[in-house]
Amino acid sequence: MIDSEIKEALAELINISYGSATAAIADLFDSFARLKVPGIQIVSVGDVEYVVLGKIDNEANLYITTQMFKGAFEGEILFVIDQQSAYNMQNIICLLEGVCTDQKEDDTETRQSIMEIANILGVSCIGKLAELLDSVVSFLPPSIELNNRLLIAQEKVGYSKVLIISTLLEFEKEQITGHLFILFDDEMFIWLKKSLYAFIEENT
């Protein structure tokens, strides 16, 4: 779907974008954190569940945070995390703050923490990516739901491509695994490729 040259450029820009997110997440948890990006792919919307099969258990409930972004480059951000990683995250907060709740009875705090992480990742990734590509985006407020289907509400919106960014947050005793999905249409895909080629030409 994209050649190796612009895929490498995209990976470089996303890693730069995630650099600021690491510090923000460490501050959020008041703890040392390491943020890794094990993989980056661009696929068609219809191939998403096939591509992530084995990485995300689609039979289990997933916390899915959604956030729209607008500008020369626009689309929708989804941050997806399974319940086990969400519990791991809340355990870190519990240990740091000394205040624990029964997550199975009340996941309000878990949802809030996920939304904060999703907002940091989304704004850092898309905001910095747009900046590096000489553009500006704005963000709408995020929302969150618990569901066992990916892209359930996005399938009819007109998105054609999905940028999948695997995300691994490592703390001293816990790991949080999630996936950031950036959804956009064919017009935005063309814009992204042209912008990446321009970035490569300016930096070679």
Residue 100 has pLDDT above 70, yes or no: no
CATH 3.40.1550.10 fits 4-202, yes or no: yes
Share of the chain above pLDDT 70, in %: 79
CA 178 to mean position of chain CA atoms: 7
How far is Cα 12 from Cα 204, in angstroms, rounded to an integer?
14
DSSP state of 125: I
Neighbours of 36 (CB within 10 A): 15
Query: What are the extents of the domains in the chain?
Result: 4-202
Alpha-carbon gap, residue 65 to 180, rounded angstroms: 9
Nearest-angstrom CA–CA distance, 175 and 172: 8
The Cα–Cα gap between 170 and 36 comes to 8
Q: How many CB atoms lie within 10 A of CB 40?
A: 16
Q: DSSP letter for 53, please.
A: B
Q: What is the total residue count of the chain? A: 204
Q: Is the pLDDT at 198 greater than 70, yes or no?
A: yes
114-153 residues labelled b (16+ CB within 10 A) or e (exposed): bbbbbbbbbbbbbbbbbebbeeebebeebebeeeeebbee
pLDDT in tens, 104-159: 556 788 888 888 888 888 888 888 888 888 888 999 988 888 877 766 555 556 78
Q: Is the per-residue pLDDT at 63 higher than 80?
A: yes
